[in-house]
Amino acid sequence: MHILVASPFLPHADAGHGGGVYLDALVRALATRARVDLVSFATPAELVSPPSLAADLASVRLVPRPEIRDLQGAARLRQKGIMLRRWVQGGLPVVVAKFRSRAMARAIREATRSDSPPVAALLEMDLMAQYLPCLGQTPTVLTDHEAGHPVPAAIGPRGLGAGRDARLWERYVERTYRRADLLQALTAEDAAELEQRFCRTVHVRPPLVELPRHAVAPAEAPPRILFLGDYRHAPNPEAARVVALEVLPRIRELVPDAELWLAGPNPTPLIAALANAPGVRVHGFVRNLSELFGQVRALVAPVFSGGGSRIKVLTALSHGLPVISNELGFRGIEAPPPAIGRGETPRQLSDATLPLLLGADAAAAAGDAARRWAVESLSAERVAADQVATIEALLEERRAGRRSR
- Note the pLDDT tens digit of each residue in 167-184: 999 999 999 999 999 999
> C-alpha dihedral over 83, 16, 312, 12, to 10 degrees?
100
Structural contact between residues 144 and 161, judged by C-beta atoms closer than 8 angstroms: no
pLDDT averaged over every residue in the chain: 90
Q: Is the peptide bond before 278 cis (omega within 30 degrees of 0)?
A: no
C-alpha gyration radius of the chain = 22
Same domain, residue pair 227 and 112? no
Same domain, residue pair 228 and 367? yes
- pLDDT attached to residue 156: 63
Alpha carbons 47 and 270: distance in angstroms, whole number: 31
pLDDT at position 280 over 70: yes
- pLDDT attached to residue 305: 79
| Tens digits of residue pLDDT in 98-129 | 899 999 999 999 999 888 899 999 999 999 99
Assign 385 to helix, strand or coil.
helix
Same domain, residue pair 320 and 384? no
| Tens digits of residue pLDDT in 335-388 | 999 999 999 999 999 999 999 999 999 999 999 999 999 999 888 888 899 999
Task: Return the closest-CA partner of residue 335 out of 371, 387, 384.
Answer: 371
Confidence of residue 203 (pLDDT cuts 50, 70, 90): very high
Strand partners, 263: 228, 284
Classify residue 167: in a domain, yes or no: yes
- pLDDT attached to residue 402: 66
Structural contact between residues 246 and 346, judged by C-beta atoms closer than 8 angstroms: yes
Structural contact between residues 10 and 51, judged by C-beta atoms closer than 8 angstroms: yes
CATH of the domain at 152: 3.40.50.2000
Task: Return the closest-CA partner of residue 143 out of 208, 212, 230.
Answer: 208
Alpha carbons 205 and 124: distance in angstroms, whole number: 12
CB count within 10 Å of CB 404 equals 6
Confidence of residue 257 (pLDDT cuts 50, 70, 90): very high
- pLDDT attached to residue 309: 58
Same domain, residue pair 359 and 399? no
66-80, 130-144, 227-241, 283-297: least confidently modelled range: 66-80
Classify residue 340: in a domain, yes or no: yes
Domain that holds residue 342: 218-377
Alpha carbons 238 and 231: distance in angstroms, whole number: 9
Same domain, residue pair 188 and 234? no
Same domain, residue pair 8 and 24? yes
pLDDT at position 308 over 60: no
Which residues have a Cβ under 8 Å from the Cβ of 32 and sit 6 or more positions away?
56, 381, 384
Same domain, residue pair 203 and 283? no
Alpha-carbon distances, residue 87 vs 98, 102, 132 (angstroms): 10, 17, 20
CB count within 10 Å of CB 97 equals 22
CB count within 10 Å of CB 195 equals 14
Task: Return the closest-CA partner of residue 289 out of 26, 21, 24, 43.
Answer: 21
pLDDT at position 149 over 90: no
66-80, 313-327, 342-356: least confidently modelled range: 66-80
Q: What is the mean pLDDT of residues 295-317?
A: 87
Q: What is the mean pLDDT of residues 77-92?
A: 87
Alpha carbons 211 and 114: distance in angstroms, whole number: 34
Task: Return the closest-CA partner of residue 271 out of 228, 325, 227, 231.
Answer: 231
Alpha-carbon distances, residue 278 vs 108, 249, 282 (angstroms): 51, 8, 12
Same domain, residue pair 182 and 256? no
- pLDDT attached to residue 314: 93
Confidence of residue 73 (pLDDT cuts 50, 70, 90): confident
| Tens digits of residue pLDDT in 4-50 | 999 999 998 777 677 888 898 899 999 999 999 999 999 888 888 87
Assign 189 to helix, strand or coil.
helix
Alpha carbons 89 and 66: distance in angstroms, whole number: 21
Same domain, residue pair 400 and 328? no
pLDDT at position 403 over 60: no
Quickly list DSSP for 156-176: SGGGTTHHHHHHHHHHHHHHH
Same domain, residue pair 8 and 74? yes
pLDDT at position 405 over 60: no
Same domain, residue pair 234 and 202? no
Structural contact between residues 287 and 268, judged by C-beta atoms closer than 8 angstroms: no
Alpha-carbon distances, residue 58 vs 27, 242, 251 (angstroms): 11, 45, 51
Classify residue 336: in a domain, yes or no: yes
Same domain, residue pair 292 and 250? yes
Structural contact between residues 38 and 59, judged by C-beta atoms closer than 8 angstroms: yes
Top pLDDT among 240 and 401 is at: 240
CB count within 10 Å of CB 396 equals 10
Classify residue 213: in a domain, yes or no: no
Strands 259-263 and 224-228: parallel
* CA pseudo-torsion sign 233, 237, 242, 244: positive
Number of domains in the chain: 2
- pLDDT attached to residue 155: 67
